[in-house]
Amino acid sequence: MPMDMHKNVSVQVDSDFALLLPSGVYEIKKMEPRSKIRTIIVFCLFLAIAGIIGFGYFCQDQVCALSKRAVILQSSDMLAYNELPLHQANGINGNSNSNGNNVGGITAMASKASAPQNIIANAGLSYEDVLNDDFQFDMDGHDVMVFLHIQKTGGTSFGRHLVRDLDLKRPCECQRQRKRCYCFRPHRNENWLFSRYSTGWKCGLHADWTELTSCVDVELDKNEGETAKRRYFYISLLREPISRYMSEYRHVRRGATWKGSRHWCLGRQATAAELPPCYKGKDWLDVDLDQFAGCESNLAANRQTRMLADLALVGCYNKSSMPAHERDRVMLASAKRNLAAMAYFGLTEYQKMSQYIFEETFNLRFAIPFEQHNATISAAAVQNLRPDQRRRIEKLNSLDIELYAFAKTLLFQRFEHLKAKDANFEQRYANLGNIFYKQGVTEFNWDSNVEDGLSTDH
């Protein structure tokens, strides 16, 4: 029977099954006791649950676009995947893709746990998809690389490399004054790259996973004037959480804001009540660290987890939709799943390794090598933290710390897998970026670009 979309249903959830609820919304609300109609409500709920279970198990899979059994089975895989200790997950071996290639445990489990395509629209091809020996990023077709740019991870420099330093048949055409490049396919004027420097912030300033997956296809259709069946490849960068947090603090302290961010989720922007401002006036200039850390609505805390998670699963920015510990657990599990399923991600602290993985994944080459600069200003600021400040910041970023440990293990796993497949690894790795002399090539210094600039869109 038809359901009222505005009614709330009370559900007790004791696992990560909530990640793959077909509705895309995970909501827990306490039911007000109504003694006079309690019996009727219980009876109705029993009938509804029985109907759902019966329909899910007796409806033929080929008839039901989304069978309950598929969701429950995939949710079970997701639960096992997320509850494995990191060192155990890294040790799972013996999984193979369709071509017989040995795929590490985390990647294989993440692929099994991925939601059906009609649950997560436009979530892109997974890393396992691009492991196939015959894979090729098809610029002449309808492949699109989507860069999820998390603040203060080195994304500004990496974004510049994507538009200026790749060895392409048809290089991006960049305009100095506009800070915009046309990254078109070899034989037609369609974008193969969706990023700040190629298309601009079409889905909002520093759009996150939730925003991009619901927006990119629509924006490209609008921009190109036609509907196309595209393959999306999501890419992103992560950074050690404490250094990233301190870098964002220093950036905000100098006067930077991200007021243009939409925080769009389930068809609407976050309200002022859901995200109350941390300061009055146009910026938070000269804020001290204790004030910065003391604002409960400051999105700097656990930013990487939030931006990689499907926020619809936790009621978007409505923190009253479920207990805080449950919200954190679901959001972290979702971020891990989405990261593991991404075609590519890199880590700021492992730039050469990240460059090699990108080039091998997409069979594209950068014309310059990425450089490693560990002695950043933010790293020095971390060393100068008082013990109580350090503990507070670690607590505020506990989800990001766990996500980063997961990402580091996964990055090394992908690296070892690609290295084992590369018969010329030693020569390739020693000569990354040494293709030919390229006039006007970007002078690459990842960390200096992480720190510089006062503009609000870094």
Per-residue pLDDT for 145 more than 80? yes
Average of per-residue pLDDT across 226-251: 96
Per-residue pLDDT for 44 more than 50? yes
**What's at 369, amino acid-wise?**
P
Q: Which residue has the higher pLDDT, 456 or 434?
A: 434
Task: Return the closest-CA partner of residue 143 out of 183, 88, 103.
Answer: 183
Task: Tally the C-alpha atoms within 13 A of residue 264's C-alpha that lie toward its C-beta.
Answer: 17
Amino acid 66: pLDDT: 40
Q: Which two tokens stand for residue 181?
A: 């490049």
Q: How confident is the model at residue 35 (pLDDT cuts 50, 70, 90)?
A: low
**What's at 250, amino acid-wise?**
R
Q: How far is CA 436 from CA 159, 165, 349, 403, 427, in A?
A: 21, 11, 26, 37, 16
Question: Which residues have CB under 8 Å from 287's CB, separation 6+?
Answer: 249, 252, 253, 279
Q: What is the pLDDT of residues 319-358, one digit of tens each?
A: 999 999 999 999 999 999 999 999 999 999 999 999 999 9
Q: What is the pLDDT of residues 153-192, one digit of tens each?
A: 999 999 999 999 999 999 999 987 777 899 999 999 999 9
Question: 3-state SS string over 244-281?
Answer: HHHHHHHHHHCCCCCCCCCCEECCEECCCCCCCCCCCC
Average of per-residue pLDDT across 301-314: 98
Which residues are part of the catalytic machinery?
206
Q: What is the pLDDT of residues 86-104, one digit of tens each?
A: 433 333 333 333 333 333 3
How long is the chain?
458
The domain defined by 127-442 folds into Rossmann fold (3.40.50)
| Residue boundaries of the structural domains of the chain | 127-442
Amino acid 52: pLDDT: 67
Task: Return the closest-CA partner of residue 291 out of 306, 302, 280, 307.
Answer: 280
Q: How confident is the model at residue 436 (pLDDT cuts 50, 70, 90)?
A: low
- DSSP label at residue 31: P
Amino acid 11: pLDDT: 38
Q: How far is CA 72 from CA 66, 76, 144, 280, 374, in A?
A: 11, 6, 31, 47, 45
